Amino acid sequence: MKLLFDRIDQPNLNRLDTYRERGGYESLRRALAMSPDEVVAEIDASGLRGRGGAGFQMGKKASFIPKGDMDKYLVCNADESEPGTFKDRELMQKNPHQLIEGMGIAAHATGCNRAFVYIRGEYDYVADILEASLREAQEAGLLEHVILVVHRGAGAYICGEETALLDSLEGKRGNPRLKPPFPANQGLYQGPTLINNVETLSTVPHIIRMGGSEYAKLGTETSTGTKIVSVSGHVQRPGNYEIELGMSSRDIIFGLAGGPPEGRRVKLWFPGGSSSPVLTEEHLDLAYDFDSMAQAGSMLGSGSIIVVDDTTPVLDVAKWVAKFYTHESCGKCTPCREGTAWTLAMVERMDRGEATPMDLEIMSGVQEQIIGHCLCVLGDSMAMPIASMVKHFREELEEHIETARARREGLPVGDAPVPPEQVAV
């Protein structure tokens, strides 16, 4: 079942006439003939959960937007920067009108008169495509109820966090805000703001076309619909795949993406981008949906599977994760700013052979002090996967630490007997 990815490689799909030939903008026309409340009710009935990471129901979020005559804003979060995630890029590059139509419908449903697409600065070429398509739609008079602007960022992972995104869109440094108030009440320019991910908004035209209750029949009861899964890392066919939620994780990793190269085994996998706690081989048969991933102690996140096979040491993965979040911490909250840097320093120390297995305890302690203690979840996004790696791979990490230490101190590596002259007294 392909909705978002339906014939996505059709030539010139980014052109208005091609998109219209296959029924594009019909949903917008139909939505504009409905009352805003009816549109919100359809979205609510679909059970669509946010595709950006948090998985909050879009219909609920839209219903939080206050009614009445005031400046209200719709913001599409296209700051896709989560390591392992590249679905929004393909959606916007190949089918930009689908997103524009979804935004038109969402703006009507919530009464937003201004809309912005906050696209990450590195996606300049995608922004060019999106802007060209937007101009076509505006010139054709399809978006008369809302002023839509494509806003390009300048490279900051934190701007994918909704309140940091709003500050950045207001022209400031991308620092997260204290919540509450939530953006639905006080968001952009202090006005009510609905923020949704590219994939979420791109799904909206399909919900209006099919009807909310029909859409809800796809997927599982609490994870309805289809999802674009970005599979990367040690797989033979990395890429984006549209699946129905609830499909077995093994079928995605091995069936669609081809699994790790011959003769190698899956050691660990991130089910929802680098921020999600890692899972192991024994979790491969879990259904890929919001609840199954949460029950296994992880999360569906942005729907990005990163597969790591048995040729890569876990400590290397921890180092890449820690390095990324250290670089991207905005520096506003101390536990995150200091905690990420501390964790990176400790992981590097382990790798250099200057640590003892006891440092794993200290490192886990640092993670506990980050989680839940900051304005946003950037710190948690490092702490949770690092803590999960220590939990699932403690033996390997201890061995890595001991081996590195022995190598550094010139001692024999592994189980070889220690020469008597080197035995510490």
Site for other proteins in 363-402 (CB under 8 A): none
For position 227 contacting other proteins by CB under 8 A, the verdict is no
Give the full edge-to-edge strand order of the sheet including 304-309.
Answer: 239-244, 226-233, 304-309, 266-270, 279-280
Token pair belonging to 11: 């030539």
Stretch near other proteins under the rule CB under 8 A, chosen from 2-10, 365-373, 391-399, 416-424:
2-10
Q: Which of 43/232 has CB closer to other proteins?
A: 232
Chain positions 194 to 223 lying near other proteins, rule: CB under 8 A, are none
Q: Which stretch binds other proteins (CB under 8 A): 47-55, 293-301, 327-335, 350-358?
A: 327-335
Is 285 among the residues that bind other proteins (CB under 8 A)? Answer: no
Pick the piece of the chain touching other proteins (CB under 8 A) from 168-176, 201-209, 335-343, 411-419.
168-176
Asked whether position 340 contacts other proteins by CB under 8 A, the answer is no
Chain residues 69-128 in contact with other proteins, contact rule CB under 8 A:
71, 80-86, 88-90, 93-94, 114, 120-125
CA distances from 400 to 30, 297, 357, 414 (A): 61, 25, 9, 10
Say how many residues touch other proteins, by CB under 8 A: 71
Say whether residue 189 binds other proteins (CB under 8 A): yes
Nearest distance in Å: CB 91, other proteins: 10
* Cis peptide bond N-terminal to 176, omega within 30: no
| Residue 230 in the binding site for other proteins (CB under 8 A) | yes
Say what angle helices 378-392 and 314-328 make with each other, to 10 degrees: 170
Quick count: other Cβ atoms within 10 Å of Cβ 421?
5
**Cβ of residue 257: shortest distance to other proteins, in angstroms?**
8
- Non-local CB neighbours of 37 within 8 Å, separated by 6+ positions: none
Least CB distance to other proteins at residue 78 (A) = 10
Q: Name 80's Cβ contacts closer than 8 Å, sequence gap at least 6.
A: 86, 87, 88, 89, 120, 123, 160, 198, 302
- Report the distance separating Cα 335 and Cα 367, nearest Å: 9
Alpha-carbon distances, residue 224 vs 6, 112, 263 (angstroms): 18, 26, 36
Kindly state whether residue 279 participates in binding other proteins, applying the rule CB under 8 A: no
| Between 47 and 302, CB nearer to other proteins | 302
